[in-house]
């Protein structure tokens, strides 16, 4: 009888231990459809992305849990020098928004090569994270090499580390951005704040709704023709002007399906090389310059000697060239994507958005999303190299 009671007591103790252990854990389903279990209140989080996850964590108030990163974009200072045809020199400096808000990230181990293409799993293991969050589709882990994606996932899980995988929109080979909400929901779930993360996604989507309402019903013949072209200096060295973004890209989705404009380049692909002659043939109403192997301000098209052969373009003569926010390693849209949308919308239809000052819109956006004060919001605008909007009252 005593032995039976002892055995029963042992079973009860074990059961209570299991229940306590289970209560201290959280199990969620990631975008693979896989259940992932990790501590309910993770203290150490490793991220494999280029700032998207950190942006959500900043909004949720848990950014201090990041103990290891896999993107050098959150460590580097980016500086660019230019010279006008008349010999005037000027420069710009930009940072990842997460580096500006959280400079201490620079002191965290980065388990990636400086070129950003080889993950160091030994450094990741030494960080001993409670959970790893990986965004497939960011520059750090691309979306096109499935074997590499599978190998990365397998290696991390072989280390015994809980891995939560989210997929950027491009992973699905579709241009629309709707799945960003799914990503945010999963990240929020990691920290027990799914509802707050989804509310953030709805707030971001509100900008898209506003733009759609203002550009609805524009007839094809009245649509503004916008060229989204990256002034990649490597292409310029080959005699081309830059690389255009085709109709199958998220950029074109914003131009045509959100802003109600027309992509002046109706081909397909990312960074498709275009010569000066080809751009003259397109003769767009407006030109938008994204981060593409460097930052590219409107002045670069207006004033540099190497682009002087484009001076007769309608968009240049009408001063309708606009720069997108400085976004290093922006292979997939990050939390700031509504700023991209608003710039494209106002660049396409200045009259329809005359009442919206984008330089003020971004300040309110930063305050709402990141919970910062006016001075910090202005600092973020500067670090994304958007102060040109103040000068031009854009």
pLDDT in tens, 6-51: 433 333 333 334 444 445 999 999 999 999 999 999 999 999 999 9
pLDDT at 16: 37
Query: CA-to-CA distance for 319 and 311, rounded, in angstroms?
Result: 11
The Cα–Cα gap between 160 and 192 comes to 22
Residue 237: strand, helix, or coil: coil
* Plot region of 319 (φ>0 → left; ψ -120 to 50 → alpha; else → beta): left
- Length of the chain, please? 394
- What's the fold here for domain 219-356? Rossmann fold (3.40.50)
SS (H, E, C) 40-78: CCCCCEEEECCCHHHHHHHHHCCHHHEEEECCHHHCCCE
How far, CA to CA in Å, does 375 sit from each of 83, 193, 325, 379?
Answer: 30, 28, 18, 6
The answer for residues whose C-beta is within 8 angstroms of residue 44's C-beta and 6 or more apart is 65, 67, 68, 127, 128, 129, 130
Domain ranges within the chain, ordered by starting residue:
21-202, 219-356
Does the domain at residues 21-202 carry the CATH identifier 3.90.550.10? no
67 has pLDDT over 50:
yes
Nearest 5°: CA angle at 293, between 259 and 266? 40
pLDDT band at 142 (very low <50, low <70, confident <90, very high): confident
Same topology between domain 21-202 and domain 219-356 = yes
Q: Which residue has the tokens 């397109």?
A: 282
Nearest C-alpha neighbor of 164 from the set 143, 185, 181: 185
What band does 207 get if pLDDT is binned at 50, 70 and 90?
A: very high
pLDDT at 177: 85
Q: What is the CA radius of gyration of the chain?
A: 24
Least confident of 37-41, 167-171, 194-198: 167-171
* pLDDT tens digits along 213-236: 999 999 999 999 999 999 999 999
- Helix or strand (DSSP H, E) at 103: none
For 276-324, what is each residue's pLDDT tens digit? 999 999 999 999 999 999 999 999 999 999 999 999 999 999 999 999 9
Between the ranges 73-77, 114-118, 141-145, where is the mean pLDDT highest?
Answer: 73-77
Residues 6 or more apart whose Cβ sits within 8 Å of residue 160: none
Most confident of 28-32, 91-95, 248-252: 28-32
Which residues on neighbouring strands pair with residue 166, listed in sequence order?
A: 135
Task: Report pLDDT for 6.
Answer: 42
> In what helix (H) or strand (E) does residue 350 lie, and over which residues does it extend?
none
Task: Round to whole Å and give the CA distance between 384 and 371.
Answer: 17
Beta strands in 1-130, from DSSP E residues, in sequence order: 25-29, 35-39, 45-48, 66-68, 78-83, 89-94
Percent of the chain, pLDDT > 90? 85
Mean pLDDT of the region 376-391: 96
User: Cβ contacts of residue 348 below 8 Å, gap of 6+?
Assistant: 215, 224, 226, 255, 259, 260, 261, 285, 286
For residue 170, what pLDDT is reported? 83
Q: Find tokens 């239809």 and name the residue.
A: 349
């Amino acid at each position: 009888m005593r032995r039976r009671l002892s055995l029963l007591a042992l079973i009860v103790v074990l059961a209570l231990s299991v229940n306590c252990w289970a209560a201290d854990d959280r199990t969620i389903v990631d975008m693979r459809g896989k259940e992932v279990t990790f501590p309910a209140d993770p203290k150490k989080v490793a991220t494999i992305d280029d700032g998207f996850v950190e942006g959500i964590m900043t909004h949720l108030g848990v950014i201090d849990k990041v103990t290891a990163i896999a993107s050098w974009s959150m460590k580097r200072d980016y500086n660019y020098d230019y010279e006008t045809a008349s010999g005037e020199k000027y420069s710009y400096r930009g940072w990842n928004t997460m580096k500006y808000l959280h400079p201490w990230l620079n002191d965290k181990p980065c388990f990636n090569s400086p070129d950003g293409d080889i993950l160091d799993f030994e450094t990741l293991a030494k960080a001993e994270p409670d959970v790893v969050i990986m965004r497939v589709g960011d520059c750090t882990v691309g979306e096109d090499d499935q074997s590499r994606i599978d190998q990365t996932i397998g290696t991390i899980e072989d280390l015994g580390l809980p891995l939560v995988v989210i997929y950027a929109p491009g992973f699905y080979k579709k241009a629309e951005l709707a799945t960003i909400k799914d990503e945010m929901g999963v990240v929020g779930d990691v920290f027990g704040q799914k509802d707050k993360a989804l509310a953030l996604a709805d707030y971001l989507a509100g900008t898209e709704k506003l733009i759609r309402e203002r550009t609805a019903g524009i007839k094809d013949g009245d649509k503004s023709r916008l060229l989204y072209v990256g002034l990649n200096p490597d292409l310029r060295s080959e005699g081309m002007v830059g690389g255009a973004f085709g109709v199958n890209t998220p950029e074109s989705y914003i131009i045509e399906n959100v802003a109600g404009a027309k992509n002046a380049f109706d081909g397909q692909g990312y960074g498709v090389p275009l010569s000066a002659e080809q751009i003259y043939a397109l003769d767009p109403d407006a030109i938008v310059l994204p981060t593409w192997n460097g930052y590219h301000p409107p002045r670069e098209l207006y004033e540099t000697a190497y682009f002087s052969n484009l001076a007769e373009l309608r968009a240049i003569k009408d001063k309708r060239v606009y720069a997108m926010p400085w976004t290093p390693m922006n292979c997939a849209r990050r939390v700031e994507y509504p700023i991209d949308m608003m710039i494209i919308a106002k660049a396409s239809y200045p009259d329809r958005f005359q009442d919206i000052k984008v330089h003020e819109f971004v300040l309110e956006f930063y305050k709402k999303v990141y919970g910062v004060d006016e001075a910090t919001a202005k600092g973020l605008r500067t670090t994304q190299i958007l102060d040109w909007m103040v000068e031009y009252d854009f």
